[in-house]
Amino acid sequence: MHLPLNDLRDAHASVSASLDALPPDARDWRPAPEAWSATDVLEHLLKTEAGMLQFLRRQLAAGEDRRDLGPRRPGAMDTLRATMGPDQRLRVPPASNRYVAPSGTADLGELRDRWDALPDAWAEQLAAVPPVLTEVGLVPHPLVGPLTASEATQFVAIHARHHVHQLRRLRDALGASSS
């Protein structure tokens, strides 16, 4: 099975580079009161990815008693790629978003430490997926339903890249507000 770990690592590096491109004192800046700061974006990414990884970990640990998520939807990954494109601005339904919305009070240093550890944690879990489960939907996605472990990894990479564009827009807005 092809595991998209390199893509995940590249996406993580892109997020980190985008954060590093912002002046340290601007990482909590918001272009509007309801808008997310760079720290908020990272917290959202971390909550989303860590939640999916935790679900996968539980599913694998449960073995035959794992939760049946139902059939996978054809074209799910194509849908995710299309909705997470660079120019797409997505509004996630509040019921889905409540688990992954930023608190607005997170510490960037702590978030970065946890963020940097995630690719290795994914590698460990993906290596633990038995061959019989490589095509089984093990992780739920609120928009497209069950994803395999490999698809979940692809999603978090796509999702991270989606937010790299948001971080660039934030950097551009910061530059415009200071001129």
Task: Encode pLDDT of 110-127 as tens digits.
Answer: 999 999 999 999 999 999
Task: Report pLDDT digits (tens) over 31-66.
Answer: 888 889 999 999 999 999 999 999 999 999 999 999
Secondary structure of residue 163 in the 3-state scheme: helix
Tell me: pLDDT of 88 over 90. Answer: no
From the list 177, 170, 176, 144, the residue with the least C-alpha distance to 89 is 170
Percentage of the chain beyond pLDDT 70 is: 89
DSSP 26: G
Beta strands per DSSP E along the chain: 139-141, 145-147
Q: What local confidence, expressed as pLDDT, does residue 59 receive?
A: 97
Question: How far is Cα of residue 154 from the mean position of the Cα atoms in its chain?
Answer: 10
Taking residue 132's Cβ as centre, other Cβ atoms within 10 Å add up to 7
* Phi, psi torsion values for 30, nearest 5 degrees: -120, 135
- Alpha carbon separation from 179 to 84, 174, 175 (Å, rounded): 31, 9, 6
Please give the Cα distance from 56 to 51 (Å, whole number): 9
Task: Report pLDDT digits (tens) over 62-84.
Answer: 999 999 999 999 999 999 999 88
